[in-house]
Structure 1
Amino acid sequence: MPFTERTYRIIKEMTYPVTFKIDKNGFIILSSKIRNLLSLDHDFKENDEVSGRIYSINKSIGAFIAIDNKYDSLLRLNELQGIHIEGELIEARVKEVKSDGKIELSLRKRAYLEIDNDSDKILDYLYENDGVAYISDKSSPEKIKKLFGISKSSFKKAIGRLYKNNDIKIYTNKIELIEGKNV
């Protein structure tokens, strides 16, 4: 693959979505420039489970993914957690299919399934920190994301469930495990 046809750094033994091209001398070469070759003509619908490889990462938009090496999709920046690289295989859920066929993905399960995971993260934190977390529904989205890796909206739903289940008390500047709930 000529340097001019690379859109990212190639790592040995990694799999990448690429295309074949013929260069000006008539030689067959590889290119990682595949966006214009991917289709938006598909049968995917909201909540379908899909897999594909990241073919481009834009630090202000997100990761572009080639589903089944055929269909273009986007995993927005706010959906990305951790470190991702081009060529990485992603298992995701179709979050939305736009009217023009563009697909947006999510790494999270549907909200009603994800709330259990979010509640468990908060309980785990409380168990590991003497039953107290100095964070509340008034805390900044950045602080919540940093501590639990979830959005403020997801955090509020999860602590709401924990409160309703009588697992925690909610104060203005902290949440606290109810006595007798410790492991």
Structure 2
Amino acid sequence: MASISTNPSNGAGFYSAKVICQIVGLVCLSGFVIDMVVLALPPNPASPEWRSAFMQQLADRSIIMLLGAALTIFSLDSRRWLKRFSTVSLVVGVIFLLSTLLVIRDSLTLQQQAISNISSQASQIQTRITDAQSKPASELKVTPEQLQQASQQLNAQANNLKQTAKTTFLKTGVASVGNLAVVGLGLISLGRYGMRLRKSKGN
């Protein structure tokens, strides 16, 4: 009785699958790089707003790069290319992990800026209300009670805006940090796997 393992089509099918993985992997990586280059234009790395927006886009698309890297490493037969690609995966993975610190810092900076802007604008309006309250009632077009109510509403709205700003930046920062950390660890694992796979292929 013939064994299934002796079927010559099995080997051909395996190599065909590796070729497909290589094509898909390189397409994923190329598409990722093109997207990042386009999103980085015009570059302004000194701006925390630009960095935050870019890192958020990078984090959202990083899973495509991880998939492309996994498929490419699986498809490589050359020990030299395995070493090169695995090394790149390790380095990029470490960069992703370190970039989470930048994301955290920029998120805190932008959050503080947003809160400061809200406080500044609220303070300016509150000053106008206070000035109006100090004027004689005959010069006012509104009653003191209305001014007091406006002051209370202003404080409530300012507090709500501050809380919204904190929540928004917290959610965005946590999502970006989580994606970058997970993909970074994945790339490091892929790099280590590629190095072991290279050694198993021998000379």
TM-score band (shorter)? under 0.3
- In terms of fraction of residues, the more strand-rich structure is 1
* TM-score, normalised relative to structure 2: 0.22
* TM-score, normalised relative to structure 1: 0.23
- In terms of fraction of residues, the more helix-rich structure is 2
